[in-house]
């Protein structure tokens, strides 16, 4: 069982969208998925992509993905990577695919002189938290994530 990681290509759009839906179902958030496969393909593979994806494969078959983008730390004065989604299909968990995806992002950070790799995890997702703890990922408990969407976002935009 060999796990490899490669950058996604346009032919992966359907697989990636399937992974997104599977992740949303696992997180009990499938009802919140508004994106379409076409949206995703445009953002990942359009003229000026600002979203990126790596695919983990086991013996050539896709088993997981990491969707990420560059962020910036004003305090560190350097870019970093924000991991938006990490998902490995249940039947491939434990073979090293998640770790391989994170390793590939860490290697990108090192190669490009980036300051950090960060992500969020749901409070109830104990298996993921244990996995991240095992990698040495520090919890940022002093920060609280805030978000504006939908009506609140429109209201602020309109003044």
Kindly list the domain boundaries of the chain, sorted by start residue. 3-158
Task: Note whether 158 and 148 are within 8 A (CB).
Answer: no
- pLDDT the model gives residue 113: 97
82 is known as an active-site residue: no
Helix 13-26 / helix 37-45 crossing angle, nearest 10 deg: 120
**What pLDDT does 141 receive?**
87
Q: What is the pLDDT of residues 104-145, one digit of tens each?
A: 999 999 999 999 999 999 999 999 999 999 999 999 989 888
Length of the chain counted residue by residue: 159
- Residue 154: pLDDT over 90: yes
**Average pLDDT in the 65-76 region?**
97
Name the pTM for this structure.
Answer: 0.93
Compute the average pLDDT of residues 86-105. 96
Q: pLDDT tier at 94 (50, 70, 90 boundaries)?
A: very high
CA distance 159 to 137: 39
Quick one: 3-158 is in which CATH superfamily?
Answer: Gcn5-related N-acetyltransferase (GNAT) (3.40.630.30)
What confidence tens digit (pLDDT) does each residue in 17-48 have?
Answer: 999 999 999 999 999 999 999 999 999 999 99
How far, in Å, CA of 3 to CA of 156, rounded? Answer: 46
Beta partners for 7?
54
> What's the confidence (pLDDT) of residue 63?
98
> What percent of the chain lies above the pLDDT cut of 90?
94
- 3-class DSSP state of 15: helix
The predicted model gives 75-88 an average pLDDT of 97
């Amino acid at each position: 069982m060999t796990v490899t990681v490669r950058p996604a290509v346009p032919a992966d759009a359907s697989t990636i969208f399937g992974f997104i839906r599977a992740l949303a179902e696992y997180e009990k958030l499938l009802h919140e998925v508004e994106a379409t496969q076409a949206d995703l393909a445009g953002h990942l593979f359009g003229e000026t992509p600002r979203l990126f994806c790596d695919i983990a494969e086991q013996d050539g078959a896709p088993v997981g993905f990491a969707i990420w983008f560059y962020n910036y730390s004003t305090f560190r004065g350097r870019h970093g990577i924000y991991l938006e989604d990490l998902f490995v299909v249940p039947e491939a968990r434990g073979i090293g695919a998640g770790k391989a995806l994170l390793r590939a992002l860490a290697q990108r950070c090192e190669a490009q002189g980036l300051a950090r790799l960060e992500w969020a995890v749901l409070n109830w997702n104990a298996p993921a938290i244990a996995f991240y703890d095992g990698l040495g990922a520090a919890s940022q408990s002093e920060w609280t994530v805030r978000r504006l969407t939908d009506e609140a976002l429109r209201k602020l935009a309109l003044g």
